[in-house]
Structure 1
Amino acid sequence: MESALTNPLFPKTQSVQSPHNLGLVQKFPSNPNSVLVLHSSSNYSGVCMCFVDETVKPLPPPSQNPDLISDTDPVSTTEHRRVVRLAWEKLVRWSRSWQSKAATNDVLGRTNKVVVLGGGSFGTAMAAHVANRKAQLEVSMLVRDPQICQSINEKHCNCKYFPEHILPENVTATADAKAALLGADFCLHAIPVQFSSSFLKGIADCVDPSWPFISLSKGLELDTLRMMSQIIPQSLRNPCQPDTHWDENRLSNADKGKKMAMVVASKDKQMANAVQQLLASKNLRISTSSDVTGVEIAGALKNVLAIAAGIVEGMNLGNNSMAALVAQVHWYIRRHLCYNVVLDYNIRMEIEYLILGVFFPPMKMGAKWATMTGLAGYGDIRLTCFVNLSRNRTVGVRLGSGEKLDDIL
């Protein structure tokens, strides 16, 4: 049964509750050129269809004072002026509160030291990016290779990864975990997933329980199938260790002036916002998400698909075959996300093991559809498949060219 309510913003309209529980529909009784707004009251996204209503005077632009609306205009009724003034006041209050929060939440200004765990390609690129954000910021890299450590401290470059890239002077390296972690505000974890557990257990005694960890690693642990969101707190023996998870991408391009976009996921919204303020720059746009599982599963899928894309490249199958691979991957993901709510558990388990053994339904693990089809999912998959920047893709290229896996590894 529909229930009609009077809409205070548009006195000539009615708000009718949709029988499908989709929200409130604004109806104009007579004018066909009216405004139809569907406000979502469920988990579905709101839908807005707008048509011109010549009987309603548009709101003034932000730079115009509502009090200056002409009294001679017959449409400028007292009710209309009151609504405009209330909207204006709310907009001003929101703007001031946002500016106040931005001024008090100066994460980068309050940060004095950032530790990067690992001296690989992505750890080095991240250290350079963070160091460029603030000249007074101390960036310490914890590395095990003494040659890399010496190269960073003396020549300001990583002799093994990006030897041509000069690191900022505020980037230093050490093999001493206690010295590196002393006084840290943020810890960026760039150790490969398969070695993360043993590495973190070795430095657990030096880690403050309140330090936020930003995981830059992608994939699942082979023996346990654990994700980094499970490995970090369990290895540090602190189930409450704050952590965020990064949609890793070719970050080195950001320091070359290329525009990039990435995703930071955390169950703690304030933590995700803090990481966003710390790392976002004019060349790097960072979106936040609460779907930690989705971002991690998308990264694990990407690693497998990178090898498949490399095989297509190594066999010289052409761009059409590469596009077919990407399209098929998207179909698999959509199918699994859909059948998770249609088929029973036993049928789902059989299909999981039949389709390459890697396309398990992310939804069953808690991933969200928007994450898998967004930047962290489809976006990263397409970048990895079509651009030769991934180590996994390089392995696939060599496999497709006829080399043996043992020789490649």
Structure 2
Amino acid sequence: MSSALELATDRSGVAPDGPPRAVVRATTVADVQRTLAEASRTGTPVVTRGAGTGLAGGAAAGPDTIVLDVSGLDRILGIDPIDGIARVEPGVITAELDRAAAAHGLMYAPDPGSVAICTIGGNIATNAGGLRGAKYGVTRDSVLALDVVLADGTRLHLGRDTVKGVVGLDLVGLLVGSEGTLGVVVGATLRLLPRPARVGTAVAYFASVTAAAVAAAELGAAGLRPSVLELVDGKTLAAIDELRGTDHAGRGAALLLVQTDGFGAGEELAAVAAVLARTASALDTTHDVAAGAALAAARRDALPAIEARGRVLIEDIAVPRSRLADAVGGVHAIAEATGTDVYVFAHAGDGNLHPIIRLDPDPGAADRAAEEIFALALALGGTVSAEHGVGLLKRAWLERELGPDVVTLQRRIKDLFDPAGILNPGKAL
């Protein structure tokens, strides 16, 4: 069992000043309600956590804080294959829900990189995306209803079980991505989709990362919408080769992974291959599921391969898809100017880049590079956080991206939900 100090941080590496005042390991909704009611009465800050896989310090908890661990609320309450919905508690592991849905011929579409260890509650807190986001969107697109406990212990049911519905304001959409600042999610009704009957996979190598980014944009311009469209730069390919004994970097300076799905997967894959073949130095395609998984392994191996080289800062920005090449080129220029070791892979289908910055030997230089990368994202019309959240680490950028009037409005909304200011204070907003 994790210690109190271990439960006071997340994967971001933010180090708390000391252990939290208390840790509550909730196993029932009543546990959550009692904890929040007492915390509201005493004015004690509460930080809610699930698996602790967050990368922005959103689950970091100081010494005067109660850590509310909801990972024990981990039941799949039901799957309805007719209506295509699942009812779950927040501690359910995302991959486990997808496996349970597969037994009914369905899938849970959001597919974050940490899918095997992250929880549904954490996905909802940060509006997580993932590899299938190019076609199926992010977590918000799969959430129909939420059971939420407010700061004073009041339990509310928000949303509905129907796909359509416009009665009242969209409070579900407001809660998704709010990083535990407005309420604690204790249940969710999630949309499931038919599991694709067919899957096609293409892996293309390019002479430069710019050429790969341009090819990704050309797929969109051709009217193609693959389920997966991922980019991996040459430095990352070299790290993967070092870890796995492969030869990706020998085949090109960048890689695009593309998957199509559904009954028209074969026809769409042929169209994808035709676009990629114009500029790719090498191209592999397959309709076999196992072979496709093998081709896709390089993208799944990207982060573990980089982490095998040392401590890293895992960043997350997004730009308009038309500016993807500019963003990748800009990140590489920042790496050169700051003398930092930066790796890039991206959800190219929705313009979401993950620049991974080595912290050794100079953490200060890594921090400076990250600041310049955030500024680059805004200059290109993008955002400083696509799916990891703002948390503690990016809060200083909130006003630069949104403007003071919008920030003030958002904080007024928080005051309505949490008048005592106890829910994850100092994070996100």
Q: TM > 0.5 between the two?
A: no
Provide the TM-score with structure 2 as the length reference. 0.23
Higher radius of gyration, 1 or 2: 1
Q: Which structure: greater helix fraction?
A: 1
Q: Which of 1 and 2 has higher RCO (CA within 8 Å, sep 6+)?
A: 2
Provide the TM-score with structure 1 as the length reference. 0.23
